Structure 1
Amino acid sequence: MTWISRSSTLTMLGLLVFLASCDDGSNPTAPCEMDCGAHGRCVIAAGHEGCLCDPGYLGEDCAACKSGYVLQGAECAPDPCLDSPCTAPHQGVCSTTDTGFVCLCDDDAQDNDNDGTCRPTCAAAIQGYNAQSCDDSSGEALFFGPRSCSTVVEYTPEAGESVGDLQLRGEFNNWAVGSALTAAADGVYSITLDIPAGDYAYKFYGASADRWFEDPVNPFFKWLNGERNSRLKVEDCQAPYLRLLHRAEVDVPSGAVTLRVQYVDGSAAAGLGPQGIQVSRSGVPVSGTLDGVTHTLLIKDQGLGKGKYGYRIEASDAAGHSAKPLVVPVWVEDQPFEWQDAVLYFALTDRFADGNPSNNAPVPGVDAKANWQGGDFAGLKQKLESGYFTDLGVNAIWISSISQNTGGSGAGDDGKEYAGYHSYWPISTGWTNENQLEGVQPTDPHFGNLQEFKDLVDAAHARGIRVLVDFVANHVHQDSPLWQQHQSEGWFHTPWAGCKETNWEQPITCWFAPYLPDFEYKNAQAVDEVVNHAVWMVEETNIDGFRLDAVKHMIDDFVYSVRGGIDLSLRMSGERFYMVGETFTGEDGSDLLEHYIGPRLLDGQFDFPLYWQVTEVFLREERDLKALESMVGWNDTRYGDWAVMSTFLGNHDVCRALSHAAGDISDMWCNEGKNQAWNSPPSAPTDPQPYRKLRLAWTFLMTSPGVPLIYYGDEFGMEGAGDPDNRRFMRFGADLNGEQAATMEVVKRLTAIRHAHRATRRGERRTIALADDGLLWAYVMEDGDDWVLVVLNRADAQRTQSLDLSALGVADTTLVDALSDQPFEAGGGMLEVTLGGHEAAVFAL
């Protein structure tokens, strides 16, 4: 319920409250005379009268629907669109009606044949800058005629923008004036160019204002004479191409997948070659039916189990010109997945599970702590198949970069020798099927071969688990063929300037170590080499996302380009390839994180500002819950609707959460962590208190927006100082002590709660109670009619707190704590909760 009146306002239970005092200053007791309409009642509290609205209602007379509710008929009902029920291809717009909801076509889709299915419009179907003839009047956007050799460049002015005489100037016309864009009836400016295949820098030029500017929708750039320009890549129009007409249609019960692909002949109209259009699924041939008039291939695949499949379509024309292969990822699953609903697990591959001892090859002369210890793809696959991740409630895993690393060692900034077990010293960056780098392999042999990695990905997908890999794009190791072949061609920042040596004040150009050459991404060839490698990984291995390493150490151009390359590869598939960035920052780093987030950049970042706050409040107890409550008041929505941030209690670059909680780490920043790792590594605490602190922190994180990350071992409480001590080998089962087993059970319960209640993932946080000493906090996560109450006691001693839940519509009932299974009785809208020191409770309301 919501408490309303027509006068002064305050907050009650985190909800909007309007209180009305009597005009004569008296404190009324009875009767209560406010007119609260049909969906509220007049009540008196603290000498004031006001309206207590029914669930779903608000307003002065409780006549309006609150957020998460919509008017259906004459009643406010839970919004049926909150659960994203519209899942048909290109039909994802949910619109409420008086009786329920209806699914409408996406903005770039149409139902011109009125058959109830939505298909892309011609405007959406045109690939890149191709000027192809298209007709969507039949309900399907079909291209006609051979491939056009013309290139179209468009500009859509912003609302209220005065464009005037708009020119396109670039390398193709020697930057001259004369290539004017013309405006269509819809206000979009365009120009058709007939220029040879090639790579051109260009800019728009507003003649009246003498204004040069980049193409705002083009993710690719080209630098000339120290100035950045938009980049126009014109392909050879003699080659045919393949296009996916619309997203795959999937029938889960029968395991049927339907695809339609169109072959567009090259400009010479040589016709389809004798091999026809070839289709395979994970290397298995799949047949299709070709329409000889429209050159569309209908593919109907049958009998597929749940999981993700990668279709590869290939074709050549009769003259021998090959189309670029078309790769289409398709999920067969009961419910469409959204990244906001993920629980992510980071398994540092070498330190997680050794499934194949035959590939163990530590580097001689390197201490075991800093050496290869045997974790591999086979070990990860075995843990997937054993149900470890499923039982933990994990539905996405992030693993180390799969690239081959140097086989040698290098000196760390502490003077000790380290091997490349962490997989941040890559030498196979740039590998593609067409560019197989001599002397290296696409995956690290310590982990396994490429097929073993694909098997791992398939095993994860069969269980509905997404797979992210670390993408190390800032640098390579000096043993890399790219450095060996291109070090004098402007591909790298030279001469060497170390990051530490320059006090980290030159993040773009500095090298992490003398043996880690840093890419210069103003060089278009370097960008192409690394972006092509990224796209190859996506298409070849069917992965679902990247953790992009060292984002702030690369110019923005690269992030735009890798996103643009992947988007072009996956266009029309409907797949949201999740790219989460690692931008190591402090408590005040939210602006820097936000800089890299957006539809053309990253989906989200690891939330370092929240990490530091959580570490201080729950683990180190250097601040109280008031500080955290204040921060999340703005941080929960800080990064906008597009962002899917990832929250965490630890990773491989910071000291272990449990050791912070045990008081074994001298400072929050882990500045002495590396020295401690070698000289006085912490042991597992015998006191249960640190584990309770950890469980409390997990309760907060698992009931907060964002993708919670479980760093391997944090699910039970693994101890550790800095690198490499925070990367000890994983422990399972009988190797855990009692407190660790209890902690893991709490995490399992929390992930189950999170999956069952969308409010914990997407809801708005509202404070119910916050103790004066900042050691007890109760809040509700609310999303429509889904409510979850969380109570955190950070005090050392037992606390009892009475919570007024009347405004939440809680009547006389029994509420059961999902963490302990303990029942609590609510009566008269009040709930009394008693919690032990460093304990939490979670209730579904």
Structure 2
Amino acid sequence: MRKAITLLLLIPFLLFYALPAEAAEKEERHWQDESIYFIMVDRFQNGNPANDGKDADPTDLKSYTGGDLKGVTDRLDYIQKMGFTAIWLTPVVDNVDGGYHGYWPKDFSKVDEHFGTMEDMKKLVKEAHKRNMKVILDYVANHTGPNHPWLNDPAKKDWFHPQQDITNWDDQTELENNWLFGLPDLNHENPDVRKFLIDNAKYWIKETGVDGFRLDAIKHIPKDFLKEFVSSIKKEYPNFFFIGEVLSEDPKYVSEYKDTGIDAFLNYPYYKEITDAFSKPGVSPDRLYNEWERDQQLYQDPYMLGTFIDNHDQVRFTRVALENKQYPPKRLRMALTYLLTSPGIPIMYYGTEIALDGGPDPDNRRIMDFKTDKDFQDYISKLGELRQQLPSLRRGTFEMLYDQDGMSVFKRTYEKETTVIAINNTTETKKVTLSSGQLAANKELRGLLSDDLVREENGSYALVLKRETANVYALAERTGLNWGFIGAIAGVYVLFTIFLILARRRRKKN
């Protein structure tokens, strides 16, 4: 009985506030439609303690701590519930001692025993695909781990550049030929090295069925090799996805790698600006928006840039907020709203959903704790849900409608669908008036992230947001007073009341 009453009360809400019909239409998915959850395998979840090894120590962030591939597989539903449609894993190849992070390869064709087996990797991909989720593997093509056995193999004496560390980080020749933080630098001019890396990459694709590679440290790899590497793989796997890491805050420098054939790049300039804009209140996101306008000039498809607010190489966003004497979950709500509603492929680092703290490496790689603030996690899930339901949040144009002292409003339009994103990154309630010329006449804005309904009155829309809050609105046809609809609802209530009276009389008789 209670369920029936609840359903009855929900009917008007569902009919008045449902998303516009256009939002439900399904289209073929492209990579710009994905949302990526980034996992450091060793720090996520220990699914099989039997493979920890004697050197695992959960109290030492410079060693293996127990996370593995089974742990990731066990948490796929958890990740999907937050609205993420793809996962990116740090390298899973066998590493030299101490290579818990995966970036010190030893055996390029074997899964590190601390993470499980090749069968575990295959199962993870299979389970992800069952959920219509994609899997990206980190691939290291620039170097090997320290003291790699190849260094003492006479047959591979020409596989490495001479040992010399990078000293001038503005010298491209040094970046490509010298050793990165003491790691043996592979000689990509050697045809045998090139063939090995290309064949090895194809091996991982064939064996596991992964959907893409995140290419590590590519500013240290010659562009001609990157071009050969990508084209060789795409000949056999034309839909395979590549996202490259060019660790630079210079957007022009990052864009110089676009001719290599790599599909997407991590947007480090965006990362810097989004951190500056939302790690404290009262800051305008204008430089962040200007970054988007610049990206449109630099890239043929700027929607394919990977956007993020923190990762395993940077101090966590939570730490920056704390240093600014701010409450991290509030700051994260602002930043994640922008991340998941602005153009690009959003990437969220594991632990952000619990506002995990972390300073410089390895402190930014703490072990995941799944005890979380449910309200905060629900907020992320709602953002992820809206991004998947509304094509305009993934493919739409991006226009700033209002910007003053941290209060900003953006509009995204795709085909017939328009959404409005309002972010009050200030310490006061703010009211913003938008003209019907900026949106459309005689319509209404339906709040989707939090309940709100704003109708056009006298040629304008008045948005009111409390301090440090955000909302996503769908522009829709004005509902007004539909007397036929109201009469039908009233009829339902009358019939239901009669049903309750008759049911009560029957109970009294019995």
| SS of match in other structure, 2:94 | coil
Aligned residue identity for 1:518: D
Match of 1:325 in 2: none
CA distance in structure 2 between the partners assigned to 1:350 and 1:546 by the alignment: 19
Aligned residue identity for 2:164: A
Match of 1:536 in 2: 203
Query: Please, which of 434, 437, 442 is the counterpart of residue 803 of structure 1?
Result: 434
> Does the 8 A contact of 1:759 with 1:783 survive in 2?
yes
> Does the 8 A contact of 1:428 with 1:480 survive in 2?
no
Query: Please, which of 373, 388, 401 is the counterpart of residue 768 of structure 1?
Result: 401
Count of aligned pairs between the two proteins: 452
| SS of match in other structure, 2:55 | coil
Match of 1:549 in 2: 216
> Does the 8 A contact of 2:151 with 2:157 survive in 1?
no
CA distance in structure 2 between the partners assigned to 1:757 and 1:372 by the alignment: 41
CA distance in structure 2 between the partners assigned to 1:366 and 1:752 by the alignment: 34
Match of 1:652 in 2: 312
CA distance in structure 2 between the partners assigned to 1:594 and 1:371 by the alignment: 35
Aligned residue identity for 1:563: V
Matched, 1:452 2:109: no
Shift of 1:648: 0.3
Seq. identity, %: 29
> Does the 8 A contact of 1:351 with 1:730 survive in 2?
yes
Match of 1:392 in 2: 82
Match of 2:489 in 1: none
CA distance in structure 1 between the partners assigned to 2:380 and 2:436 by the alignment: 27
CA distance in structure 2 between the partners assigned to 1:795 and 1:365 by the alignment: 43
1:306-321 equivalent positions in 2, closer than 5 A: none
Matched, 1:508 2:176: yes
> Does the 8 A contact of 1:699 with 1:840 survive in 2?
yes
Match of 1:611 in 2: 271
Aligned residue identity for 1:781: R
Match of 1:470 in 2: 138
Aligned residue identity for 1:778: V
Match of 1:597 in 2: 258
CA distance in structure 1 between the partners assigned to 2:365 and 2:100 by the alignment: 10
Match of 1:402 in 2: 92
Q: Give CA deviations for 1:164-203 in whole Å, capped at 9, x if unaligned.
A: xxxxxxxxxxxxxxxxxxxxxxxxxxxxxxxxxxxxxxxx
CA distance in structure 2 between the partners assigned to 1:801 and 1:622 by the alignment: 16
For structure 2, the residue ranges without an aligned partner over 5 or more in a row are: 1-21, 476-510
1:9-28 equivalent positions in 2, closer than 5 A: none
Aligned CA distance change for structure 1 residues 488 and 379 (closer, same or farther; 3 Å): closer
Aligned CA distance change for structure 1 residues 716 and 825 (closer, same or farther; 3 Å): farther
CA distance in structure 2 between the partners assigned to 1:365 and 1:729 by the alignment: 11
Aligned residue identity for 2:363: D
| SS of match in other structure, 1:819 | coil
Match of 1:749 in 2: 382
> Does the 8 A contact of 2:429 with 2:464 survive in 1?
yes
Under a length normalisation based on structure 1, what TM-score does the superposition of the two structures give?
0.51
Aligned residue identity for 1:617: A
Match of 1:583 in 2: 246
Match of 1:714 in 2: 352
Query: Please, which of 821, 824, 837 is the counterpart of residue 451 of structure 2?
Result: 821
Query: Please, which of 28, 34, 38 is the counterpart of residue 342 of structure 1?
Result: 34
* Aligned CA-pair RMSD: 2.5
Shift of 1:633: 2.7
Matched, 1:794 2:425: yes
Q: Give CA deviations for 1:761-797 in whole Å, capped at 9, x if unaligned.
A: 11111222222xx321111011121111011111111
Match of 1:560 in 2: 227
Aligned residue identity for 2:271: Y
Shift of 1:580: 0.4
> Does the 8 A contact of 1:511 with 1:517 survive in 2?
yes
Under a length normalisation based on structure 2, what TM-score does the superposition of the two structures give?
0.83
1:5-84 equivalent positions in 2, closer than 5 A: none
> Does the 8 A contact of 1:508 with 1:555 survive in 2?
yes
1:50-449 equivalent positions in 2, closer than 5 A: 336-361=28-53, 363=55, 368-384=60-76, 387-406=77-96, 408=97, 419-429=98-108, 431=109, 442-449=110-117
For structure 1, the residue ranges without an aligned partner over 5 or more in a row are: 1-79, 86-333, 409-418, 432-441, 665-684
> Does the 8 A contact of 2:281 with 2:426 survive in 1?
no
CA distance in structure 2 between the partners assigned to 1:366 and 1:658 by the alignment: 22
Query: Please, which of 517, 539, 551 is the counterpart of residue 184 of structure 2?
Result: 517
| SS of match in other structure, 1:520 | coil
Aligned CA distance change for structure 1 residues 335 and 633 (closer, same or farther; 3 Å): closer
> Does the 8 A contact of 2:159 with 2:186 survive in 1?
yes
Considering Cα pairs closer than 8 Å and 6+ residues apart, tell me whether 1 or 2 has the greater RCO.
2
Shift of 1:545: 0.3
Match of 1:731 in 2: 369
Name the structure where strand makes up a greater proportion of residues. 1
Q: Give CA deviations for 1:794-819 in whole Å, capped at 9, x if unaligned.
A: 11111122222344224254x33222
Aligned CA distance change for structure 1 residues 731 and 364 (closer, same or farther; 3 Å): closer
Name the structure where helix makes up a greater proportion of residues. 2
> Does the 8 A contact of 2:86 with 2:133 survive in 1?
yes
CA distance in structure 2 between the partners assigned to 1:743 and 1:635 by the alignment: 31
Match of 1:200 in 2: none
CA distance in structure 2 between the partners assigned to 1:577 and 1:802 by the alignment: 45
Q: Which structure would you say has the larger Rg?
A: 1
Query: Please, which of 320, 339, 362 is the counterpart of residue 701 of structure 1?
Result: 339
CA distance in structure 2 between the partners assigned to 1:369 and 1:399 by the alignment: 18
CA distance in structure 2 between the partners assigned to 1:750 and 1:770 by the alignment: 22
| SS of match in other structure, 2:107 | coil
| SS of match in other structure, 2:47 | coil
Q: Give CA deviations for 1:598-655 in whole Å, capped at 9, x if unaligned.
A: 4x52101000011111111111469523333333333356311386110000000001
CA distance in structure 2 between the partners assigned to 1:594 and 1:507 by the alignment: 17
CA distance in structure 1 between the partners assigned to 2:421 and 2:58 by the alignment: 48
| SS of match in other structure, 2:258 | coil
